Amino acid sequence: MAFRLRVVPETTNFDFFRAQWLTFGGSMILTVVAIVAWIAMGLNFGIDFRGGTTIRTEATEPVDVGAYRDALSGLELGDVAVTEVFDPNFADDQYVAQVRIAPLDGQESVSPETIAQVEENLRQISPSITFPSVESVGPKVSGELIWKAVLAMVAASVGIMIYIWMRFEWQFAMGAVIAIVHDIFITIGIFAIFQIKFDLTIVAALLTILGYSVNDTVVVFDRLRENLLKYKTMPLKDVMNLSVNETLSRTIMTSGTTLMALGAMLIWGGDVIRGFTFAIFVGVLLGTYSSVFVAKNLVLFVGLDRSDKPKKSDKNEFANVDA
């Protein structure tokens, strides 16, 4: 007999509304806290959004952040930030740092001559130092990137809302969009609270979260629509509980395997993609949670007109489209 591993029992009967004041209410509170943190603390924008120059250094001697700052203090530079980069994959004699330099007031960028002088000063305190990468972005370009990132997020959310609306009902569309906005805002709030660098790779991660979150939500909504037709007299809350229980195994297995891959990338993937991986890791957790505890609660709160549900399903050309 073949062995089958079951993470979740074949039949479950969890009441996902039992502590909704804690699950759903807590999510709403966390969303507000994330927005407040975002506004109050701001984001630690990377070079993509701030403009300026980022110099990555590598040396065989340990990084002395204070010495690096002292070496650059005599130069005519804008704001300078020196941070040491840690990674378990680095060799024992590999020490990495990032030097971020903002342009002076009235200048759009750091000149090549200034960058050369920075490198020369750093060589005087660390003879083995090398400069694997130098990235420069002007303020005009960085402003355009911020605007385009916002447009990308809004366009993706609107597209998802239209798709859900056509496939199901407007209540489902509203629940799905608010759930993914919940995921995005909390993820951004975490980046604001811990001042993790926020650059274009994080925007790509947020767009990935949008797709992953709505995929989980559509699976639950699809089963809910089937059960609404099957159990026409069952209370809406009970039909929702049944639908989530029936898709729980699929949800946990999909999210679990995704998180295993992301966890490996987070630990061993290196510092270059760590922010990107961390954003997706948090987003997958939040997306799974919102599919179970947020999206359906919003639909229940708004309510559904179940009296003409079969009639609508027959006329809606999108009703039978496969997910």
Positions of E strands within 145-259 = 197-198
8 Å CB contact between 126 and 59: yes
Positions of E strands within the chain = 44-45, 52-59, 80-85, 95-101, 130-137, 197-198
- What is the per-residue pLDDT across 93-144, written as a single tens digit (0 to 9) for each? 899 998 888 777 666 678 888 889 999 999 988 889 999 988 877 666 667 7
Which domains are seen in the chain, by residue range? 20-45+141-315 (1.20.1640.10), 52-137 (3.30.70.2040)
8 Å CB contact between 219 and 248: no
Give the span between the Cα atoms of 280 and 296, in whole angstroms. 23
State pTM to two decimals. Answer: 0.75
Q: Which of 2-6, 9-13, 134-138, 163-167 has the highest mean pLDDT?
A: 163-167
- What is the per-residue pLDDT across 45-96, written as a single tens digit (0 to 9) for each? 876 777 778 889 999 988 888 888 888 888 888 778 788 888 888 888 899 9
Looking at residue 231, its pLDDT comes to 87
Looking at residue 319, its pLDDT comes to 46
- What is the per-residue pLDDT across 154-198, written as a single tens digit (0 to 9) for each? 888 888 888 888 888 888 888 888 898 999 999 999 999 998 888
